[in-house]
Amino acid sequence: MIKLYGLRMSNYYSLTKALLIEKGLEFEEVKAPPTQKPDNVARTPMGKMPSIEVDGQYMSESLAIAQYLETLVPSPSLWPADPFQAGKVMELICHMKLNVELVARRCLPEALFGMTVSDETKDSTRTDLARGMQAVEQIIVCDPFAAGDTFTLADFYAFYCFGPASGIAAKMFDQDLLEGHDKIKALMAKVAEHPSIARVEAEKAA
Ligand SMILES: N[C@@H](CCC(=O)N[C@@H](CS)C(=O)NCC(=O)O)C(=O)O
């Protein structure tokens, strides 16, 4: 059985758990906070969460795990069959992950953990977040799903990138990150009801 390491509070842990559910796989959740301790670093080279264990072998990085799960269980497919459209799904994921979520994350120590980040970091985060949202807005479809007419991995990343990024923007800048991005707001509401994601969120709250 696949073991999923990490904590339920993590967006990428939650995303990976939703994918395991989506693919109908049996898995066991193992509580493992992010640390630089050797056992954790053996599973995940940067000490981050999530990671999985399959037959005594480890894998980190949610996108790598998603790729593995897709190959392991091709149906229901989370990728368009058309090669170009599949590339567009990955393009959208990259922009949401790198230019929105990862940018907002710079302020996570203050937003979530009561630490202080510098004014310089706050300023650059605000500017770069606006630019990242502009980039995503240019390519996201949301008609009806993130990358077009089928439900794909991009919908999982949309939910688990915009969710935390919006939380951080609200806390740090008193800003609604999705203001002016009505189609993304509507997408978030729709994807929240998708059964695998709804289950993950319900179990997180329990
Ligand atoms: N690119 C990684 C990001 C993983 C990541 O940032 N994990 C966060 C929790 S959501 C973490 O472990 N943070 C703790 C740390 O950076 O030490 C992925 O997609 O899995």
Give me the residue spans of the domains in the chain. Answer: 2-72, 83-194
CA dist 174 and 111 (Å) reads 11
Mean pLDDT of the chain: 97
CA 118 to centroid of ligand 1, rounded, Å: 21
Q: What's 37's DSSP letter?
A: S
The kind and range of the H/E element at 57 are strand 57-60
Q: Quick check: 49 and 34 in contact, CB under 8 A?
A: yes
Say if CB 185 and CB 179 are below 8 A apart: no
Closest-lying ligand 1 atom to the alpha carbon of residue 11: 10
At 26, phi and psi to the nearest 5?
-80, 140
What pLDDT, on the 0 to 100 scale, is given for residue 206?
Answer: 81
Residue 34 identity: P
Assign a CATH topology to domain 83-194: Glutathione S-transferase Yfyf (Class Pi); Chain A, domain 2 (1.20.1050)
Q: What is the pLDDT of residue 205?
A: 84
Residue located nearest, by CA, to atom 6 of ligand 1: 48
Structure tokens at 186: 């509507």
Determine if the pTM surpasses 0.95. yes
pLDDT digits (tens, 9 = 90+) for 20-49: 999 999 999 999 999 999 999 999 999 999
- Percent of residues, the chain, with pLDDT higher than 90: 99
pLDDT 10s digits, 81-104:
999 999 999 999 999 999 999 999
CA 6–ligand 1 middle distance (angstroms): 10
The CA–CA distances, whole Å, from 156 to 7, 54, 96, 111, 152 equal 18, 22, 11, 23, 7
Q: How far is the CA of 82 from the centre of ligand 1 (A)?
A: 31
Q: Which residues of the chain have pLDDT under 70?
A: none
Cα separation, 43 vs 36, whole angstroms = 11
* Ligand 1 cavity residues, CB under 6 Å: 10-12, 34, 47-49, 61-63
What are 72's two structure tokens?
Answer: 């392991």
How far is Cα 176 from Cα 170, in angstroms, rounded to an integer? 6
Domains 2-72 and 83-194 share a fold: no
Total Cβ atoms within 10 A of residue 180: 10
Domain spanning 2-72 has what CATH number? 3.40.30.10
> Residue 30 has which token pair?
């193992």
